[in-house]
Chains A and B, each alone.
Chain A
Amino acid sequence: MINPLLELKEVSYKNKNNFTLKNVSLRIKSGEKIALLGKSGAGKTTLISILNGTLKPNEGRVKLFNTEFDKINLHQKSKISTIWQDLRLIEDLSAEQNVNCGLLGKQSFLFAFKNLLNISSFNKAHQYMQVCNLKKSIFSKNIRKISGGQKQRVAIARSLIQESDIILADEPFNNLDPKLTSYIKNLLLITKNKNKNKNKIKVPNTTLISLHRLDLLDGFNRIIGMKNGEILFDLEKTKLKKYHLNKIY
């Protein structure tokens, strides 16, 4: 049996007095393309925050590469990248400096310092920004001065440049027009044998994306539906029926 990349066992998370996640168990294997569905407040963001280790569950266990999350080292942790719903970019830094921040997990302190002084190399950042369909003219612009859609793609480029094994994306298509949504979705869902694409960038082989739009489900091979902090269904894409969706919406 193949070991899962990420595993949750009977995980619960209580925020103040309310459960935002109730007894959730989940195994994510390499190569899976998972869509996470559910209404606002269903617990999708909490689940992603627990998967990337930002939140610690009140109950249950989280394992990454078959090791308890608390026991894994920084190098292993850097194999998960996240695209946050609220982007969490650093204001005051330029778009390219923000993308370069994605490399902090693999670079030395000197790199971080040079990045802040704007004297580090931006070649790799530019490569990823171009892949995310960002124009050269915005590379050096301050993050405050670019549009919502551009910020969204900067956040995506920052996650991709981490060259992680798994990418967790919380509603990554917000602020994007239909054409860009389709392009970015294809980029994030690229399969292993295609991941040496024409731009020679490495895209994570495993993806978990939370979504609201059901018309974007093409390309995923597993669908998880959540409601009130619980997983109501977890099945292959081909087995998804309308009544499944009725349960969560």
Chain B
Amino acid sequence: MNKLKLNSSSIIFLPILVCIPIAYELFINFHIGGIELFKEFIISALNPKINNEIIFSLVKRLNETIFIAFFSWLISIIFGVIFGILSSEVFYKILNLPIFLKRFLNLFLTFIRSIHEIIWGLILMQIYGINFSIGIIAICIPYVAINAKVFSEQIENINLKTIESIKQINGIKSSTLITLVWAPVIETFKNFGLYRLECAIRSTAVLGLFGVGGIGTSIFLSFQTLNFRELWTYLWGLAFLIIISKELLKKFNLSKTSKKFLTSFVIALFCISLFSLSFFVYFIFNKNAIPFNSINNLLISNFNFISYDFLKLLLETIVLCLLSTGIAISFPPIFILILNNKIGITIIRIISFLFRLIPTPVLILILLMFNDPSISLAAITLGLHNAAITSKLLLANLYNQDNKQYIAMKSLGVERRSSWLFGLFIKQANSYLAYCAYRSDIIIRETAILGVIGSVGLGWQLQESLSSFAWEEVIVILFAYSSIAIIGELINGKIKSNLT
């Protein structure tokens, strides 16, 4: 018998095995208590509430969402660029600075990146109370670090010989630096920066569920009062905002803008970055911090981990990550393979849009209507949400590529699914797997949200510790989260570099 040989395509399908323990746990925890509510929820999707009052409220909430999302996006892009440059090797080469400063900065950025914006939001809310600025700052903190990583990776791609040739002209160092980094920064902004606005809108919506403001707050209040028609009005409103923002951004072509506009844009960016920095400094150092009296409290506190089963929660979080990642990787190709025709693909597109649209905390609350809280429930929620995102990318890449091989196979009489598998999918397998490795970094961070709502893993403990102002526990949990995220990022980095 031949030895089993795994390749990227087979590795993508294997994680479907996670469905066995998930299905078992979901089956034993199943109840029919909320089936009627679920039916009502589904029917309300096609019958949202529309009257003057709710339209007025929707517009107001959308305005808040746009405001928080836009400013957090803009500030995080500006500081992302700055930190991206500061954490790239090019900067240290040109300014002849010691490279250990870069490592120190990267470590700091990795730490703040590894903690989800929801956690930052919860912490800031506990310290400063509910405040409109919380949303912007909470999103900005991890987003700056995420953007910095992307910008710095692109800057690192500058050819060393080009660096040498510009250095050799012997201009002042700032001129040399900006000349070298300008093109990769602009290119990254065009390819990645605008997509981050969509992410900022989603994050604002999720943060809203925790009371920060914006449309998320209305979604959560409607859900709490089981007013599903109202809930769908807000959800469709959010969908409208995401679609419109995407279409507008597609039209915004940086390379075709006039010189005058570009100059004004750069000056405006400069002013906003100055303003945001001063605002941030004011916010942190003003005297509104409620219970967070001094940093010393953290250092002299008694750490008492025995009071809760810390290791169990840590393990739960890791299992949750693995299960969700398995679903996110394997579901899209399997469903596309099974429903491999035009109608099937359209259905997948609609369902994945809905799973992307509904924030994960709301999704888990819906699933809780007929299932008890468990790791599997949290995993299926997080997995489905992320599978919706990976499926979008997979579909786009599958059907935008050269399909000569697919046509050739079909012309040889090969069955449609086999032609799809060997003519289209196999060419995308590597890049899809590499994207999934990146996605699993995000899944690790997102376990925090599910933990808070779904009573699973460290997220739940974080909520408890924050509510009781047990800052020493909060710090330990943050470090635990950060450690999982950093280890996950290192493993995924290895996988990505092997695949690409």
Contact = CB atoms under 8 A, between A and B. Distances in A.
Contacts of B169: 78, 81, 101-102, 104-105, 162
Interface in A80-128: 80-82, 84, 86, 88-93, 101-109, 111-113, 115-119
Nearest to B255: A142
Nearest to A88: B165
Contact of A84 (B161, B178, B259): B161
Contacts of B303: none
B168 A54 contact: yes
A107 B174 CA distance: 11
A78 B170 CA distance: 5
A90 B175 contact: no
A52 interface: yes
Contact of A119 (B167, B175, B263): B263
A103 to B, nearest CB: 8
Interface in B174-231: 174-176, 178-180, 182-184, 186-187
A113 B170 CA distance: 16
Interface residues of A, number: 36
Given A101-B166, A104-B166, A104-B176, A88 B183 contact: no
A75 B262 CA distance: 32
Contacts of B400: none
A109 B172 CA distance: 7
B162 interface: yes
A20 to B, nearest CB: 16
A143 B201 CA distance: 37
A75 B159 CA distance: 25
Nearest to B186: A92
Given A74-B172, A162-B169, A112 B259 contact: no
Q: Tell which of B161, B184, B186 has the most Cβ of chain A within 10 Å.
A: B161
Interface of B: 159, 161-162, 164-172, 174-176, 178-180, 182-184, 186-187, 259, 262-263, 266
16 contacts: A54-B164, A74-B172, A78-B171, A89-B162, A92-B183, A92-B186, A92-B187, A104-B170, A104-B171, A104-B176, A105-B171, A107-B171, A109-B172, A109-B174, A112-B179, A119-B259
Top 9 closest A-B pairs, CB basis?
Answer: A104-B171, A92-B183, A88-B165, A112-B175, A77-B170, A78-B170, A116-B182, A105-B170, A109-B174
Given A103-B171, A112-B171, A162-B169, 13 more contacts: A54-B167, A81-B169, A88-B161, A88-B166, A90-B180, A91-B183, A101-B179, A107-B175, A108-B175, A111-B175, A117-B262, A118-B259, A119-B263
